[in-house]
Homo-oligomer: A and B are copies of this chain.
Amino acid sequence: MTQADPKAGFIDQVSWNSDGLVPAIAQDFKTGRILMMAWMNRESLAITASEGYAVYWSRSRGKLWRKGESSGHLQQVREIRLDCDGDTILLLVEQQGGIACHTGRSSCFYRVLQGGEWSTTQPVIKSPETIYESPEL
């Protein structure tokens, strides 16, 4: 593990919101599929940049969220991008296990608006019980 410096210049150039966070979009590096959207604080961006695996900030748990730490579905970061006004991060990642969503689907954006209703369009690849209760499998 290399040393993450949350005071690095590139981190100061991000426009953190009043909670010290920015949205971070994860996109599959190979397929272009958008996998998920989560949040980052300074420390999570610093660690992500230094270690090369996506680390977010869990707002519900109030702590760093090393993506894949319980599921094994790590996101190896190939590119980190910043938007024009500096308040949104884009991660280009290789999604280990091909599953980004806690529901066991490849992407969290599996609902599409059709006829005024949200329809589920992606199959569950692996059940959440299998993912989270038997991480060694």
Residues on A close to B: CB < 8 A?
A: 8-10, 13, 23, 25, 27, 31-34, 36-37, 49, 79-85, 88, 90, 101-103, 105, 108-113, 116-118
Contact = CB atoms under 8 A, between A and B. Distances in A.
- Tallying the copies of this chain within the complex gives 2
Given A23-B23, A32-B32, A83 B9 contact: no
Contacts of A109: 81-83, 88, 90
Contacts of A118: 10, 13, 82
A81 B37 contact: no
Contact of A37 (B9, B31, B36, B88): B88
Given A37-B23, A37-B88, A113 B49 contact: yes
Nearest to A121: B81
Nearest to A25: B25
Contacts of A85: 108
11 contacts: A9-B116, A10-B117, A13-B118, A32-B32, A36-B83, A81-B109, A82-B112, A83-B111, A84-B103, A84-B111, A88-B108
